[in-house]
Amino acid sequence: MDDPALIARVIGKDVAAFNALARLHQSKVRGLLLRLTRGNHATADDLAQETFLEAWRGIGNFRGDSAIATWLYRIAYSRFLMHARKRKPDEQLDDWQGEAASGEGATHVRIDLERAFAKLSAPESAALTMCFALGLSNTEAAEALDMPLGTLKSHVLRGREKLKTILGDQP
Amino acid sequence: MNDTDLDALLSAPLPERDAGAFTVLLMEKIAHDQARPARILSWITVGILTLIVAAATIYGAQAMGHAASFSFAIPALLTLLTLALSYAVMQSARET
């Protein structure tokens, strides 16, 4: 839940308040980007840094129509798309990149899930992550991904079906 | 895998990431970003100072040509002062 006082201080360019805001949201933003970059920790963290820096520069444009988290996810996703466009073809990531990416306490099921996510398209992966793991409503996720609600629902449905197939095929 | 299992798996929160190093780096970048106008101003000042040096040098050369008794000390001192100021501005820009 947003803290209006904290956001008001951030809009007033209070660095300490922005630090507090970043601490609150960094984990989820980095988690989303880690999934989109298919487990590439370095790229995900670079993109997350760019996301928060852009948020700091553009905080004056935040009108409070949506939750601050939704606004941050929107910036993160657009940053990821820009990065994906710039990426050379030989840098194409086809699979989940790292075992280390699984983190502490990761189960085999979790690692399998991340490997399966790596087979999805970016919009499918982002839509599923936002609607499930990040707990956004369909409307919020559509707004964050800058796509119509119907398109978002299609991505969710298609992504779910693909995951079921991929996870069902595994021994 | 059935729908319920998949929903449970998908709804599991993403692994928690430590904020420490990440926010320290972010705050450094923000500080660097905030110092940007000062840096730009420093470079503009350096440009103006360079013009002053050039003008002083031309002035000195002309004065030398026109009057044999002209003292070179004043333009030289001005030039040195300007160079010292430029150096100070550049150092301060680097530090910010």
- Residue A77 CB partners (closer than 8 Å, separation 6+): A32, A36, A126, A144, A145, A146
Q: A102 falls in which pLDDT band (50, 70, 90)? A: very low
Assess whether pLDDT exceeds 50 at residue A23: yes
Please compute the mean of the pLDDT values over residues B25-29 and round it to a whole number.
Answer: 95
Those of residues 35-54 in A touching chain B at CB distance below 8 A are 35, 45, 48-49, 52-53
Which of B15, B27, B29 is opposite residue A103, by nearest beta carbon? B15
Fill in the amino acid letter for A128.
Answer: L
**Which has the closest alpha carbon to B8: A132, A170, A36?**
A132
Please compute the mean of the pLDDT values over residues A26-54 and round it to a whole number.
Answer: 95
Please compute the mean of the pLDDT values over residues A149-160 and round it to a whole number.
Answer: 96
pTM for the full predicted model: 0.77
Contact A28, A126 (CB under 8 A): no
3-state SS assignment for residue A29: helix
CA distance A3 to A14: 14
Environment class of residue A44 by beta-carbon count within 10 Å: exposed (0-12), middle (13-18) or buried (19+)?
A: buried
Do A49 and B22 count as a contact with CB atoms less than 8 A apart? yes
CA distance B27 to A42: 18
pLDDT value of residue B3: 85
Residue with tokens 């490997």: A115
Please compute the mean of the pLDDT values over residues A98-108 and round it to a whole number.
Answer: 55
Nearest-CA distance A132 → chain B (Å)? 5
Assess whether pLDDT exceeds 60 at residue B4: yes
pLDDT value of residue A27: 96
Backbone φ, ψ for residue A73 (5° rounding): -65, -35
Contact B53, B79 (CB under 8 A): yes
Q: A77 falls in which pLDDT band (50, 70, 90)? A: very high
Please compute the mean of the pLDDT values over residues A111-129 and round it to a whole number.
Answer: 93
Helices (H), chain A: 4-11, 15-36, 41-58, 68-86, 108-117, 122-128, 138-144, 149-169
Do B7 and A53 count as a contact with CB atoms less than 8 A apart? no
Assess whether pLDDT exceeds 90 at residue B66: no
CA distance B27 to A53: 9
Sign of CA dihedral B53, B55, B57, B63: negative
